[in-house]
Structure 1
């Protein structure tokens, strides 16, 4: 983030970055858990079909076609889910960005009574996101239905063809087929289908991460020509001759800009909106592409650039000012005074802007701008503070050195990290997690589809599914036993002697085929 250029940083919303770090990176990790099922499932399918072919011959061909159809549907669902997931993460980025901006500017929302408009906006974005979540759930439903129904339909195809051809089958074949198809069912239900979904999400996540990692970075080597020919007498800091620069993604250009600046001078650039005031500073930073002229900076000079966005991270005020640099008490105190930092115990709305203005003082190469304020990724309170504190909306740049004065006891109070208080507060918040009363869960149940009745229906459906599965297995076992008794040799063993008295053996062919039809129709029903 720190290395991104201003143009690249402006294209990355806070919601997109948060969503990418929390969801997209996790999606990449999930791919490694199920990716191997792609080749495992294919290999298992080939082996199972070959074994079944050796038992029932070309009867297995139709089951093979059905297996290929299931694989094709799973792959198609993966493609569709890739499109749905792309749309969904875009809406999630927008929602997270919107919620972050609302939280940062909540006092302005309350002051101007904007709760209802912002609520409608959030609901509108959330409604679009929910639409894609529902589509994703439908695709998951297709995947689950294919997985759970695979073994049953496979059995129906095989046994149906055997029934249609009047071909005999026994318990041995039933046992082998049941075990092999159960393996295939587990592979497709828990592995192959999940792999297709994870791959579709993986491609979306990788494209987003690559787009972020390949974003343009700030290159200090391309910034400017640093000269040693500046002498210490004229204190010349910047010398620009016939400068021409342009944005790579826009047709806007700066042409034939010439000026020089010395240490301590106050330079004000006045112009209408979008006339190129910020672009001039972006050229000094190396953000704009130079197409002509020359920019020379004094190697021994130091510059400070204060952008419109606040770079404030969650830590003590002291660490926000140091910004990773080594602590220097004298310079630290000078920076606090020079920035006019509020030394009261209560932080004002402009404190974040004051913090941000002090951070660059600890950098070797820094730069300075306060342009026309606007609502962007920085909080509205910071923007309002900048509007109130700036003498003119179009104040652009100032080169100056900070003078040092001793700090006050009130200032030192602000600089001491309140570690103990933070730990105590976090402990209290942690203890409150999980204290949800039963009435809350009851309201959730009542707010769901048909409340308690809906839960009872879902429970009944689950129980019915389990009962039907057990009945199907039991009925297939009974049918295969009847087949074994009918076609078993009477002189096989003692058990067959007992079974010789079975009515199945004494049936005529028409009666046996009719009983066979009853077995098959019951299985279908």
Structure 2
């Protein structure tokens, strides 16, 4: 699978001159002055504090407040966050994994980790520092302050130092927590863009979707990308949970004694419950995907053949079918919602339950419980609340991302079709077919792969990759090889032994009964079928206008340009003509 010519010259220019971490090292500068030649994207000129606290968005927010924010004033996306750049990198990592392990044993999860490895290490570092600060503040420093008050010490410097240290730990916790979110959002944007672009490029390279439903394709491009976005956003917080749990366990045991382990056990026992919830969520998610694919495919068929359904008065029958599919899907989603709601509702109760259980057992055993110790234990258990609160979302995102990666791998392992359309040069013909037999499937009756004919010596027709061959004369090729139909038993061909030539500047109309192969003939010229015998060749490029118009939400100019720059010399209609025919739609 190859990518079309995306424009990533800016990134290659930077990487050719500097190290691959050059832009990241510039972001690590705490405060960066405004450059003389600012980058189109403000995030590329942001310093460390601006990046962490999102202050680089302030000018954009001011424009929005002044109602001056529109399509022309919104800054472009950073080159490093563009989908084409990240998709190329993800594809390179995937190809390396396939070469090393093979297509069947290649791990897409491993490639995903490699794609975000450096950012994941930085994020884990920020998360660990945040968790350590969360522990030091309420556990060590608050306990020291309370003991300082109980002893009624006259050391003012020591008390102020403890308060300043508490302020510093809270500041570090907030700063590194914000840094984690900033890194996670950038990573999630890059991962989602890479995955969605890679899936889209792979799908448009396929000739047909015989083994993939339309619903599965739509879910892959819309829902699965967002699942990976959530996984990159929430899953890194899991790495800080063990550190916080171990630190709190040791410290509570030191200041309270063995009874503190009861509260820790309550936390530990809740982790398998969350893992069980994750397994249930994964199971419901897997079942819901099947129903969603069925519903989307059914709705696509209904909308495609709505005229036929109306003509035969099949509305009620199809409405009942759609209603049944939706009802089944809704029941599965309701069960998944119940599991997630229970998981989310029980999480805030665990700190309170652990605290009450610890203090009740501690007092019943006759141990001493001072105010400073009790308040410190409560603060320690509350500091663990965030790790438990984020754990359900992390586990849920991890479970759903695993399913999404499995669906994406199903697309990536599909073999790319063989390009059979040849290119002609200096020929009087625009389109040429000679004894061409084509089908929509690449197997014969016995399930054996078929191959197209080979044209020896490249005398008259060149391959698509060799369009600049000077030996191409555009004459009719000589067919010398035997067909697959002669070698194998039966080939289920849609078009059989088609021969015609279309000269440049001529107009050709094809008529026939329904199902006679008119649309298949156009698809054969576009390279969307499988060639078993003969030659299909074109001179130059083709423009195809399907029966069903594809118009996206936008004005007339945007639908014509399709993202390209407007060229005044190549315009087909003037603004006055468009204003007369379609006023207000420029």
Q: How far off is 1:214 after superposition?
A: 6.9
Q: Which whole-Å CA distance do the structure 2 matches of 1:80 and 1:51 have between them?
A: 35
Question: What residue in structure 1 maps to residue 340 of structure 2?
Answer: 140
1:240 aligns with 2:434: yes
Identify if the C-alpha distance between structure 1 residues 78 and 279 changes in structure 2 by more than 3 Å, giving closer, same or farther.
Answer: same
Q: How far off is 1:41 after superposition?
A: 1.6
Q: How far off is 1:135 after superposition?
A: 1.2
1:257 aligns with 2:497: yes
Alignment equivalent of 1:158, drawn from 337, 345, 358? 358
- Please tell me whether the aligned partners of residues 224 and 297 of structure 1 are also in contact (alpha carbons under 8 angstroms): yes
Q: Which whole-Å CA distance do the structure 1 matches of 2:370 and 2:430 have between them?
A: 100
Residue 51 of structure 1 aligns to a residue whose secondary structure is: helix
- Please tell me whether the aligned partners of residues 421 and 527 of structure 2 are also in contact (alpha carbons under 8 angstroms): yes
Alignment equivalent of 1:225, drawn from 422, 425, 429? 422
1:286 aligns with 2:286: no
Identify if the C-alpha distance between structure 1 residues 328 and 110 changes in structure 2 by more than 3 Å, giving closer, same or farther.
Answer: farther
Question: What residue in structure 2 maps to residue 119 of structure 1?
Answer: 319
Q: Which whole-Å CA distance do the structure 2 matches of 1:168 and 1:276 have between them?
A: 90
**TM-score scaled by structure 2?**
0.46
Q: Which whole-Å CA distance do the structure 2 matches of 1:34 and 1:8 have between them?
A: 36
1:38 aligns with 2:232: no
Residue 537 of structure 2 aligns to a residue whose secondary structure is: strand
Question: What residue in structure 2 maps to residue 78 of structure 1?
Answer: 278
Identify if the C-alpha distance between structure 1 residues 114 and 284 changes in structure 2 by more than 3 Å, giving closer, same or farther.
Answer: closer
Matches for 1:34-433 after TM superposition, within 5 Å: 34-96=234-296, 98-99=298-299, 114-163=314-363, 165-189=365-389, 191-208=390-407, 222-228=419-425, 230=427, 232=428, 237-241=431-435, 243=437, 247-248=441-442, 251=447, 253-254=492-493, 257=497, 259-263=499-503, 282-290=523-531, 293-299=533-539, 310-314=549-553, 416-419=581-584
Q: How far off is 1:129 after superposition?
A: 1.9
Residue 204 of structure 2 aligns to a residue whose secondary structure is: coil
Residue 259 of structure 2 aligns to a residue whose secondary structure is: helix
Q: Which whole-Å CA distance do the structure 1 matches of 2:236 and 2:439 have between them?
A: 52
Residue 169 of structure 1 aligns to a residue whose secondary structure is: coil
- Please tell me whether the aligned partners of residues 242 and 257 of structure 1 are also in contact (alpha carbons under 8 angstroms): yes
Identify if the C-alpha distance between structure 1 residues 41 and 321 changes in structure 2 by more than 3 Å, giving closer, same or farther.
Answer: closer
Q: Which whole-Å CA distance do the structure 1 matches of 2:438 and 2:302 have between them?
A: 40
Superposed CA deviations along residues 117-152 of structure 1, whole A, max 9, x for unmatched, are: 343233212211211221112211331243122123
Q: How far off is 1:309 after superposition?
A: 5.2
Q: Which whole-Å CA distance do the structure 2 matches of 1:157 and 1:185 have between them?
A: 16
Q: Which whole-Å CA distance do the structure 1 matches of 2:301 and 2:559 have between them?
A: 21
Question: What residue in structure 2 maps to residue 482 of structure 1?
Answer: none
Q: How far off is 1:111 after superposition?
A: 6.4
Q: Which whole-Å CA distance do the structure 1 matches of 2:416 and 2:377 have between them?
A: 60
Q: Which whole-Å CA distance do the structure 1 matches of 2:570 and 2:309 have between them?
A: 40
- Please tell me whether the aligned partners of residues 284 and 295 of structure 1 are also in contact (alpha carbons under 8 angstroms): no
- Please tell me whether the aligned partners of residues 228 and 404 of structure 2 are also in contact (alpha carbons under 8 angstroms): yes
- Please tell me whether the aligned partners of residues 7 and 287 of structure 1 are also in contact (alpha carbons under 8 angstroms): yes
Residue 270 of structure 2 aligns to a residue whose secondary structure is: helix
Q: Which whole-Å CA distance do the structure 2 matches of 1:305 and 1:198 have between them?
A: 41
Q: Which whole-Å CA distance do the structure 2 matches of 1:207 and 1:127 have between them?
A: 26
Identify if the C-alpha distance between structure 1 residues 227 and 296 changes in structure 2 by more than 3 Å, giving closer, same or farther.
Answer: farther
Largest Rg, 1 or 2: 1
Alignment root-mean-square deviation, CA = 4.6
Unaligned runs of 5+ in 2: 1-199, 448-490
How many residues are aligned here? 335
Q: Which whole-Å CA distance do the structure 2 matches of 1:112 and 1:245 have between them?
A: 32
- Please tell me whether the aligned partners of residues 421 and 538 of structure 2 are also in contact (alpha carbons under 8 angstroms): no
- Please tell me whether the aligned partners of residues 241 and 258 of structure 1 are also in contact (alpha carbons under 8 angstroms): yes
Q: How far off is 1:180 after superposition?
A: 0.7
- Please tell me whether the aligned partners of residues 433 and 535 of structure 2 are also in contact (alpha carbons under 8 angstroms): yes
Superposed CA deviations along residues 86-123 of structure 1, whole A, max 9, x for unmatched, are: 33244344445555665677677666655533432332
Superposed CA deviations along residues 446-486 of structure 1, whole A, max 9, x for unmatched, are: xxxxxxxxxxxxxxxxxxxxxxxxxxxxxxxxxxxxxxxxx
Question: What residue in structure 2 maps to residue 339 of structure 1?
Answer: none
Q: Which whole-Å CA distance do the structure 1 matches of 2:430 and 2:309 have between them?
A: 47
- Please tell me whether the aligned partners of residues 63 and 154 of structure 1 are also in contact (alpha carbons under 8 angstroms): yes
Identify if the C-alpha distance between structure 1 residues 169 and 303 changes in structure 2 by more than 3 Å, giving closer, same or farther.
Answer: closer
Q: Which whole-Å CA distance do the structure 1 matches of 2:553 and 2:417 have between them?
A: 24
**Range that drifts further, 117-126 or 254-263:** 254-263
Q: Which whole-Å CA distance do the structure 1 matches of 2:498 and 2:298 have between them?
A: 42
Q: How far off is 1:265 after superposition?
A: 8.5
